[in-house]
Amino acid sequence: MSEMFHALSKSMKWIWANTEPLSKWIQVVALILAAYWAYFRFSLGEKPTLETRISVTSHLSTEPGPIPDTCYVFLDYSLSNQGVASFDIQSVHIRAWRSELPKLATDMPQFIDTKELEHGRQVVDNNSLELLNMHFSPGESAGRTFTWIFLKQKPAFHLFQVDVEAANGKDMKHISTQTWSQDVCTSAFRR
């Protein structure tokens, strides 16, 4: 028993003599654990909310034009910042293609692939920073309407696409929206 008491006493003396270095090591370990916890909490919780979050919507409409056999085509699009970080619009590119309507071989429905519509004849290609050159703070929205005059034509698919490039510091974000119609300035528009 005296050996056990002697060993315990020796251990207690060592702990008592080395308390200051031991507390420093405990503080270092605690600091490393706190830094590790803070880094992963930020990367998993906060960092994703700082990414650029853009909402882009578009809507296509038409109405009779200023002279017979023409129509106005309106493309309304809006952008909004749905994140917590600001961004600047770097470019806006609006394109439209005209593709023939598909010929149905059977009475079965046919899937309309908008990627295929992009292989049609390009009828609009507008790439300008002036289309919506602005800074978007969190929660800010803006929209614009673009208008073209089309000649009356036989029914076809018209696919309109808006591509937006936004920058948040060094981070670039690309987003696009598409809308299409088969009634762009067809014979339905008569004066």
Find how far residue 62's CA is from the centre of its chain. Answer: 28
Q: Is 190 a member of any domain? A: no
Quickly count: other Cβ atoms within 10 Å of residue 149's Cβ: 12
Apex 60 CA angle, 59 and 65, nearest 5: 145
Confidence at residue 148, expressed as pLDDT on a 0 to 100 scale:
92
Q: Is 136 a member of any domain? A: yes
- What total number of domains does the chain contain? 2
Residues 103 and 164 in one domain: yes
Nearest to 70 by CA among 137, 180, 14, 147: 147
Residues 31 and 117 in one domain: no
Compute the distance between CA of residue 53 and CA of residue 50 in angstroms, rounded to an integer.
8
pLDDT in tens, the chain (191 residues): 677 667 767 766 776 566 676 676 777 777 788 888 887 777 766 666 667 788 888 899 999 999 999 999 999 988 898 888 888 888 889 999 999 887 777 778 888 888 888 889 999 998 876 777 788 888 899 888 999 999 998 888 999 999 988 888 888 888 888 998 888 888 654 44
Residues 20 and 111 in one domain: no
